[in-house]
Chains A and B, each alone.
Chain A
Amino acid sequence: MKKLLTLLLTAAMAVSVLTGCGGASSSSAAPSASGATSAAGSQAAKDVKIGFIFLHDENSTYDKNFIDAAKAVKEKLGLSDDQVIFKTNIPESSECYEAAADLADRGCDIVFADSFGHEQYIAQAAEEFPEVQFCHATGTTAHTADLPNFHNAFASIYEGRYLAGIAAGMKLNEMIENGEFTAEEAKIGYIGAYTYAEVISGYTAFYLGAKSVCPTATMDVQFTGSWYDETAEKEAANLLIGRGSKLISQHADSMGAPTACETAGVPNISYNGSTLSACPNTFIVSSRIDWEPYFEYIITSFLNGEAIDADWSHGLDEGSVVLTDLNEKVAAAGTADALKEAKEKLVAGELHVFDTATFTVKGETLTSYMADVDTDANYTPDTEVIEDGYFHESEKRSAPYFDLRIDGINTLNEKF
């Protein structure tokens, strides 16, 4: 027994030493090779290696949105398989740090992680590998972290939510005109993951969009306490429908809510991407962040030797926030034109989503609000965000910080 064990261990050691040497020599060769060719200049797309860390895989609509964008940018810039590494199903634990460090070991110049909970493990890796650029979506701390190679990014998705809200409001108007219910009964149901600013900003923008065309609209919000919980999202949708919601939207990543709507025959505004194929009779439109512009930005910045923004956010103007194709079968007539018009106004700055004239908090119109932009454990409000008559979302920091509870929206549970 002992002899065999010794033998096994020796064999394992031998294998590890061999592969260890192999790995080390190839990775040490990589930087020198790229160093030599980078002098060649513009045809330098071959000099970059980028690693992606995803919380789940394509089965999550959230991660699929990132994965699709990464594949698209790979194609667009003509990167080879060796230059793009995907690590899927990386949890928000020290595994994330290990994955990031492993990507750096493999010679990645840029490492990107897609989930909020990855942030501090990415920052940890950024401290250890100063020569590698670490980019993280949805995070809040890069602009105050004082780490030149650590970057956050988001998109002003509230603009997309607002547009999707207009489509929702027009659908409600159509159903009122058809006599399906009265104007006072026009209630929207919304499923949110957590009582986090990103969710609050999203559902408020959605509601304001709907209210801009259907003034009597109200909204119920149910939280699930998870970004991905198919059962909970389905149950929440059914609960909201049971409480009289005429239309459902959601900010959570499973197919739970859209499929519940399809079963119940209630119109649904989706998120992260089209759910048309699964819900042909209820899907109207979906807003989503297109990460391709950001991926292209970080790769070209790296190739040109330019610094990457610590905190990057763009919206409708740069194509970072987009709407999917409208499902004409379900959407109200004229929706496409209304969306086009509103989009143009938003891009031109004539229309502001969080215009303080359009909403009240406890009956009051706001003139000043201090938001917690620089993250700290006590959520200290530190930045004035209402200027020129509107709430400046995503301008002081890429991740959303709109966390006001406006009138007309009724949150059913707050325990998440």
Chain B
Amino acid sequence: MRELTFREALNEALDEELTRDPDVFLMGEEVGAYNGAYKVSRGLLDKHGPKRVIDSPISELGFVGLGVGAAMMGLRPVIEVMTWNFALLALDQIANTAAKMRYMSGGALACPITIRGPNGAAHSLAAQHSQWFEAQYAYYPGLKVIVPGTPADAKGLLKSAIRDPDPCIFMESETMYAWKGMVPDGEYTIPIGKADIKRVGKDCTIVAWGRALKIALDGAEMLASQGIDCEVVDLRTIRPLDEETLIQSVRKTGACVVLEEGWPYFNAGAQISDIVQRACFDILDSPVIRVTGADVPMPYAMPLEKLARANADSVVAGVKVALNVRS
């Protein structure tokens, strides 16, 4: 095991897969000569050359479509979107083409593409650059949506996504790139669709994924000092969703808080709450509690932005409501 940043872990995954499979190529804005807008692809152009690491024009619809078409022909494109905010321009190619080609062709076609980039808010980037999109992509049958929360998971899951025969949406986070974590040595992958219990506990299950995992773990630590022992389930993949691990945890603890950083309405947490309440209705003593960001476009001003975002304090408050504990 070594300590790596999220960025380094992703870079290793890309490097290893580019080395392993000549059908893998990386394309996106600034991925080559600039070494990546967030330096995830640092050194890859030098090592693998311009055939494998390609700088694209700012044409999200066009180069995502290029990736979808190349994947349809059996290549394994990794398309970097500078942020998922910009991928809205490419949504037609993702939702209408990539997600549907296998079904519409009666199984004749497949689309082994990976589209990856940072999701969610960083700091003070205002409304157009501060949005969470995982639920939007998880809505479409045909896509897989992966949102890792640690460097080790990011590396193993990105390698799985690149090898996966179906279109994978892989979501990172600007603020996580510099975060560090222990990463196994050598070759490994992590299966898509498997949740991971990041903290074992008995009183309440906190469900999180992606960057929110750290918020959940921080909240759990604060609660531990108050004698409340939380279990943190890191979903890692939003679609397919590991319902089994989720339900088992809630059946053990008897309470559930779903944390997500995005907006409350119609977000992934709504689906997760639905699953938990139907599967665990008999043992829940309180409704599933959702902790989310505020239902507003992200404000620029720092104090307002802070108010708009979920944090460890809101997790603590949410768990106390779920457990009917007075603060």
A pairs with B: no
Q: Could you list which residues of chain A lie within 8 angstroms of chain B, going by C-beta atoms?
A: none
